[in-house]
Structures are given as structure tokens and as C-alpha cells.
């Protein structure tokens, strides 16, 4: 083998080695947040969220930043930025991007707001909240989804989300009161423990209605003197709020 052939062969082997090393460092393509994904998120924000009236720039920036596709099962990642919910297994879904953004905006969070989420799911809504406030607590009743969310949030570096497996209907009394509560599954009524744990001046956004029937997204507000007011915001369709068996 002459010098030229040896050089070509060496170059080919070196190129294959470098490409393999790059894949090992970067991970599988589907595990990455690529410029194409970021472009999809920008389009999602512009066409699905801003055009429908969500204007809080902190919410819009969070929706642009959090890689939604990395927080759903790999088999469904191509659906991540569509204008619809996406199944995450166990009869649960990750909500439509617009609904996530709208519910977050309704809470009127501040940087130091202490917020409780009922229904962690894949961890996506919790990640959006964590981009806005430093105090996020979330409860998930399905053990497998609790682990899925924990892994997703850890992999994306969210250290300000506190997770608990349990019955979200009962809230998280030891950490109450809450400046805001967001419920991501439909209850037949607003759970009294959540009203009790809401801080005076606090807000709760919750879908209320019959399972797979008529539901309305409601804004529940507690005044400084403890009075409760409830207002219907829009008709919605959410999976039912799951309870532990008595």
C-alpha cells in the first residue's frame, strides 16, 4: 500500500471515529434540542399562543424555551408542537400548548410565588412554571408518571421543582399556603382542601365538570378577607382527576 492510499485510509478511519465520538457526546438525535425544534417552538408561540391572546412575555419566553418534545414518550415526539394534547400513557395527556400557556398566564405569577400543581404528568407544565417562579411543587398520583416527570425535570436541570407522589385532591398541606394552584385534570367540583390551602389573595385555575362531558376552565380567587369567587373562563376537555381508592 503506497503512502497516498495509507493516508486516505487513515483519514476515513479518523472521520468515522470522530463522527462516532460526536454521537456519543451529543446523544441520539431524538434526545437533542436542535435548531429545528427551537424553530418549531417559535412557530408554536406565534401561531398557537400569541394569536389567541396570551401576552405575558414571561409565559411566552417559557413556552419558547422548554423543549416539549423531550418531555413526552419518544414514539410521540413528532406530535410535540402540534395544536392538540399528546398522550403520555396511563390514560393521561400533556395539554395543548395554548392551554398550558393560558392557564399559566391566568395565575399571574411573580418570581417568588409559591405554586402548587395537581397532576404532574410528564413534568412539562411544572417546567413552564419553574421558568417563571422559584417555588414549584407538584403532585402526581400515578407512580410511573411521577418517575417519568422526575427523570425529565432532572435531565433538563430543573432543581426548583419539588415532586410528590400522592392524591392531589388533598393538596399538600404541610407546604401550604399557596399563592397559586393549577390543576391539570378535571374535577367534578373544586376540592375543598385546595380552597383551604389557597393563600388570601391567591388564584387557582382548574377544569371543572363531568368526566369526558361538559367542563369549564374556572378561575377561583380568594380575597384578603377569605371570600371565594369563581368565574368560568372557557369550555375545555381534560382527563378526569384521579383519586386514590378509599
Residues annotated catalytic, as ranges? 95
For residue 208, the Cα-to-chain-centroid distance in whole angstroms is: 20
Backbone angles phi, psi at 137, to 5 degrees: -125, 140
- Long-range residue pairs from 31-37, CB within 8 A, at least 24 positions apart, any chain: 31/70, 33/67, 33/69, 33/70, 37/67, 37/69, 37/81
Q: In what order do the strands lie in the sheet with 198-209?
A: 161-165, 135-140, 114-118, 178-183, 198-209, 215-222, 228-235
**Residue 26 Ramachandran class (φ > 0 left, ψ -120 to 50 alpha, else beta):** alpha
DSSP 32: S
What count of Cα atoms within 13 Å lies in the side-chain half-sphere of residue 191? 24
- State the Cα–Cα distance between residues 182 and 100, nearest whole angstrom: 10
Amino acid at each position: 500500500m503506497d503512502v497516498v492510499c495509507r493516508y486516505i485510509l487513515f483519514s476515513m478511519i479518523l472521520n468515522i471515529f470522530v463522527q462516532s465520538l460526536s454521537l456519543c457526546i451529543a446523544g441520539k438525535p431524538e434526545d437533542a434540542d436542535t435548531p429545528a425544534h427551537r424553530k418549531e417552538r417559535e412557530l408554536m408561540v406565534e401561531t398557537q399562543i400569541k394569536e389567541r391572546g396570551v401576552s405575558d412575555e414571561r409565559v411566552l419566553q417559557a413556552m419558547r424555551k422548554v423543549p416539549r418534545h423531550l418531555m413526552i414518550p419518544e414514539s410521540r415526539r413528532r406530535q410535540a408542537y402540534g395544536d392538540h394534547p399528546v398522550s403520555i400513557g396511563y390514560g393521561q395527556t400533556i395539554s395543548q400548548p395554548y392551554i398550558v400557556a393560558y392557564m399559566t398566564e391566568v395565575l399571574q405569577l411573580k418570581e417568588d410565588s409559591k405554586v402548587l400543581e395537581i397532576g404532574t404528568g410528564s413534568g412539562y407544565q411544572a417546567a413552564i412554571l419553574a421558568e417563571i417562579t422559584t417555588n414549584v411543587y407538584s403532585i402526581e398520583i400515578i407512580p410511573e408518571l411521577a418517575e417519568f416527570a422526575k427523570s425529565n425535570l432532572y435531565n433538563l436541570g430543573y432543581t426548583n421543582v419539588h415532586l410528590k407522589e400522592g392524591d392531589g385532591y388533598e393538596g399538600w398541606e404541610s407546604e401550604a399556603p399557596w399563592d397559586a394552584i393549577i390543576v391539570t385534570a378535571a374535577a367534578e367540583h373544586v376540592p375543598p382542601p385546595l380552597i383551604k390551602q389557597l393563600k388570601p389573595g391567591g388564584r387557582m385555575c382548574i377544569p371543572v365538570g363531568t368526566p369526558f362531558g361538559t367542563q369549564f376552565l374556572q378561575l377561583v380567587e380568594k380575597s384578603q378577607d377569605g371570600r371565594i369567587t369563581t368565574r368560568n373562563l372557557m369550555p375545555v376537555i381534560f382527563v378526569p382527576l384521579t383519586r386514590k381508592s378509599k
